């Protein structure tokens, strides 16, 4: 049984509705998952929602509904959006589920029994409005806490702590040994620098008097576990991990066949959550170094250089964009206008510009004129004639480079290469002037040669585009009158049969008129 390629994304907070940043991460993961399916790898793509915590409890209280109902409504919004965006995941994680709760509690109990979790008292200044302890970092230059913290009082609170700092040396040595623990490189450097500065343990609980919307500690019913042991554990609890077994070898095969995962996260949750807490948690519960997940860290979509946030009121709603331009237009923009790992600025004008230039004018036009010519000159039948097409070598280069950049998760670069090839095909039409060939009976073979090569090129484009624009790729296949299920091997030149009958042209990417803005 070949190992499954296991992909996860961060689970999304259900304290508010999805925005463009969430959509980006999900589509990125979906494209990578589809690429691996195309390669014939077994794929397990896990995503879901983070339903517990203080913010959910507060948001639910504000709207006057119980947290369980509040998260149900937001969860639906996320699931609905992924459906509209054609995000094809294999498992859906909801952290309020029993299965998850069982694994979280099993892990906590094991760590408690092993002395990795202990009880301690914390004393300090506490902001009642923000419901958190404050440190000296939060003080103004005059030594006072600012008005944003509301009433601040001195408090003493008992909590449970995880012995995080005990594992600092292990994490440093792991990061030194494994150069691609985090992608891109500069994020691994950022993580390593943060680990160097690590001190102190991790508070993992909240007294129920402060927060009750969470998973109860199995060894103290007065507390729930706070954030990370709950949220991060989803990556294994929904993949079949059994907390009763402390060694990886004794885990059920459903889990061992998948793990370790490629975990796709945004830059804000590398340090400390995934890069420090999660890796140390896994190490502490018995995962060996060669079973640590790889972290692919993507950048953020900003708005005019500024962070999008609910409080700033500059959130871009993906559903509105889908409504206006369609889900493939949004997928295309999100995948083509940002370099994996870097930030980008969201712009609706750019979405339209890219769609019109790449999809309407270039790819859509290539498909349309190829089919039109084939019907006008050859009743829709393309015939093999002459020797190798100049497009054959270009297509082979494209496939090689496409695989190369996908191996580095550079989806934007794969798209650029695809678009270059599309431009090459359009230029090839201009240069060969088929309208002239059609008038010259002596050049009949040259016209056949060209039309066959263009149909074949479009077939290759459909295979490679299918991971980015699954629906458009299916429509290209439909118009070419070929099967719409393929593997990467189908991108090799020469798959179209002689005397193939092409379908009728239907405009695939109608131009977006900018007056719609
Ligand atoms: N619930 C936590 C993650 C727990 S993982 C065990 C969380 N949720 S979140 O809803 O705030 O963010 C979910 C993902 O969306 C994160 O990876 C985050 O980086 C990503 N993004 C949030 N805003 C984003 C942008 N503006 N741009 C790109 N991605 C962004 O963190």
The yes-or-no verdict on residue 514 having pLDDT over 90 is no
265: Cβ below 6 Å to ligand 1?
yes
11: Cβ below 6 Å to ligand 1?
yes
- Of 243, 208, 245, nearest to 229 by C-alpha is 243
What is the pLDDT averaged over residues 68-88? Answer: 98
Residue 147, domain member (yes or no): no
Residue 202, domain member (yes or no): no
Q: How confident is the model at residue 160 (pLDDT cuts 50, 70, 90)?
A: very high
What is the pLDDT averaged over residues 298-325? Answer: 91
Q: What is the reported pLDDT for 386?
A: 85
Q: What is the reported pLDDT for 310?
A: 78
Residue 463, domain member (yes or no): yes
Tokens 């500059």 sit at which residue? 314
Q: What is the reported pLDDT for 309?
A: 82
Question: Which tens digits make up the pLDDT trace of 408-422?
Answer: 999 999 999 999 999
The yes-or-no verdict on residue 1 having pLDDT over 80 is no
Phi, psi of 302 (to 5 degrees): -110, 175
The yes-or-no verdict on residue 516 having pLDDT over 60 is no
Ligand 1 atom closest to Cα of 302? 26
Residue 276, domain member (yes or no): no
Q: What is the reported pLDDT for 390?
A: 93
Phi, psi of 331 (to 5 degrees): -55, -45
13: Cβ below 6 Å to ligand 1?
yes
Could you list the residue range(s) of the whole structural domain that residue 494 is in? 348-516
Residue 7, domain member (yes or no): no
Residue 494, domain member (yes or no): yes
Ligand 1 atom closest to Cα of 231? 6
Residue 307, domain member (yes or no): no
User: Ligand 1 pocket check: which of 269, 278, 297 to mutate, most ligand atoms within 8 Å of Cβ?
Assistant: 269
Share of the chain above pLDDT 90, in %: 93
Alpha carbon distance 379, 503 (integer Å): 10
Q: How many domains does the chain have?
A: 1
For residue 234, give both structure tokens: 């989803």
Centre of ligand 1 from the C-alpha of residue 125, in Å: 29
Q: How confident is the model at residue 515 (pLDDT cuts 50, 70, 90)?
A: low
For residue 86, give both structure tokens: 């054609």
What is the pLDDT averaged over residues 440-463? Answer: 97
Question: Which tens digits make up the pLDDT trace of 195-215?
Answer: 999 999 999 999 999 999 999
Q: How confident is the model at residue 128 (pLDDT cuts 50, 70, 90)?
A: confident
Centre of ligand 1 from the C-alpha of residue 112, in Å: 30
Q: Are 287 and 249 in contact (CB under 8 A)?
A: no
Q: What is the reported pLDDT for 517?
A: 53
Centre of ligand 1 from the C-alpha of residue 231, in Å: 12
For residue 6, give both structure tokens: 């296991």
User: Ligand 1 pocket check: which of 56, 230, 266, 273 to mutate, most ligand atoms within 8 Å of Cβ?
Assistant: 266
Question: Which tens digits make up the pLDDT trace of 257-275?
Answer: 999 999 999 999 999 999 9
Share of the chain above pLDDT 70, in %: 99
Nearest-10 Cα torsion for 328, 330, 332, 336: -170
Q: What is the reported pLDDT for 304?
A: 86
Residue 479, domain member (yes or no): yes
Opening angle at CA 216, ends 280 and 219, nearest 5 = 75
Q: What is the reported pLDDT for 313?
A: 84
The rounded mean pLDDT for the chain is 96
Q: Coil, strand or helix: which one is 44?
A: strand
Q: What is the reported pLDDT for 311?
A: 78
Ligand 1 atom closest to Cα of 299? 28
Q: What is the reported pLDDT for 129?
A: 79
Centre of ligand 1 from the C-alpha of residue 273, in Å: 12
User: Ligand 1 pocket check: which of 8, 12, 15, 46 to mutate, most ligand atoms within 8 Å of Cβ?
Assistant: 12
315: Cβ below 6 Å to ligand 1?
no
What is the pLDDT averaged over residues 471-492? Answer: 96
What is the pLDDT averaged over residues 174-193? Answer: 98
Strands 182-183 and 294-298 turn out to be parallel
Centre of ligand 1 from the C-alpha of residue 298, in Å: 10
Question: In sequence order, what are the beta bridge partners of 203?
Answer: 161
Domain with 356 in it: what CATH number?
A: 1.10.730.10
Centre of ligand 1 from the C-alpha of residue 27, in Å: 13
Going edge to edge, which strands form the sheet with 117-127?
132-134, 117-127, 152-162, 202-203
Q: Find the helix or strand (DSSP H, E) in which 405 lies.
A: helix 390-407
308: Cβ below 6 Å to ligand 1?
yes
231: Cβ below 6 Å to ligand 1?
yes
Q: Are 46 and 89 in contact (CB under 8 A)?
A: yes
232: Cβ below 6 Å to ligand 1?
yes
Alpha carbon distance 446, 456 (integer Å): 15
Q: How confident is the model at residue 137 (pLDDT cuts 50, 70, 90)?
A: confident
Strands 216-217 and 220-225 turn out to be antiparallel
Count of CB atoms situated within 10 Å of the CB of 43: 21
Q: What is the reported pLDDT for 312?
A: 81
For residue 262, give both structure tokens: 């490629």
CA atoms within 13 A on the CB side of 277: 20
25: Cβ below 6 Å to ligand 1?
yes
Ligand 1 atom closest to Cα of 25? 29
The yes-or-no verdict on residue 285 having pLDDT over 60 is yes
Ligand 1 atom closest to Cα of 234? 6
């Amino acid at each position: 049984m070949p190992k499954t390629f296991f992909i996860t994304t961060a689970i999304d907070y259900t304290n508010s509705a999805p925005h463009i940043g969430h959509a980006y991460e999900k589509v990125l993961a979906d494209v990578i998952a589809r690429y691996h399916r195309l390669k014939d790898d077994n794929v397990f793509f896990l995503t879901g929602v983070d339903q517990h915590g203080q913010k959910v409890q507060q948001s639910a209280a504000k709207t006057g509904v119980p947290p369980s109902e509040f998260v149900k409504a937001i969860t639906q919004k996320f699931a609905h959006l992924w459906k509209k965006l054609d995000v094809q995941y294999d498992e859906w994680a909801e952290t309020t589920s029993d299965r998850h709760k069982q694994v979280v509690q099993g892990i906590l109990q094991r760590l408690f029994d092993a002395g990795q979790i202990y009880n301690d008292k914390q004393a300090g200044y506490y902001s009642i409005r923000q419901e958190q302890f404050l440190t000296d970092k939060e003080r103004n230059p005059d030594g006072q806490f600012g008005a944003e913290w509301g009433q601040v009082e001195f408090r003493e609170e008992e909590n449970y702590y995880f012995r995080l700092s005990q594992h600092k040396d292990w994490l440093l040595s792991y990061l030194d040994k494994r150069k691609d623990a985090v992608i891109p490189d500069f994020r691994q450097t950022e993580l390593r620098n943060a680990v160097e500065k690590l001190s102190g343990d991790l508070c993992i609980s909240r007294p129920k008097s402060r927060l009750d919307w969470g998973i109860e500690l199995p060894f103290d019913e007065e507390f729930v576990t706070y954030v990370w042991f709950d949220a991060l554990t989803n990556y294994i609890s929904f993949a079949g991990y059994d907390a009763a077994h402390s060694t990886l070898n004794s885990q059920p095969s459903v889990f061992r066949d998948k793990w370790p995962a490629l975990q796709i996260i945004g830059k804000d949750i590398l340090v400390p959550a995934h890069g420090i807490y999660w890796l140390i948690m896994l190490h502490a519960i018995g995962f060996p170094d060669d079973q640590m997940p790889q972290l692919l860290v993507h950048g953020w979509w900003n708005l005019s250089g500024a962070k999008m946030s609910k409080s700033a009121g500059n959130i871009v709603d993906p559903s509105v964009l889908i409504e206006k331009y369609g889900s493939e237009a949004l997928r295309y923009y999100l995948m083509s206008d940002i370099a994996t790992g870097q930030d980008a600025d969201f712009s609706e004008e750019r979405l339209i510009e890219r769609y019109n230039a790449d999809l309407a004018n270039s790819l859509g036009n290539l498909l349309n004129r190829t089919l039109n010519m084939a019907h006008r000159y050859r009743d829709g039948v393309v015939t093999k004639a002459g020797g190798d097409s100049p497009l054959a070598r270009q297509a082979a280069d494209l496939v090689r480079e496409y695989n190369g950049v996908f191996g580095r998760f550079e989806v934007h670069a794969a798209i650029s290469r695809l678009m270059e090839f599309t431009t090459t095909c359009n230029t090839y039409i201009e240069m060969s002037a088929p309208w002239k060939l059609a008038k010259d009976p002596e050049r009949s073979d040259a016209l056949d040669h060209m039309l066959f090569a263009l149909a074949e090129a479009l077939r290759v484009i459909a295979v490679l585009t299918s991971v980015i624009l699954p629906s458009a790729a299916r429509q290209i296949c439909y118009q070419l009158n070929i099967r719409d299920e393929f593997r990467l091997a189908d991108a090799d030149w020469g798959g179209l049969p002689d005397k193939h009958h092409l379908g009728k042209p239907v405009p695939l990417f109608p131009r977006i008129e900018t007056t719609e803005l």
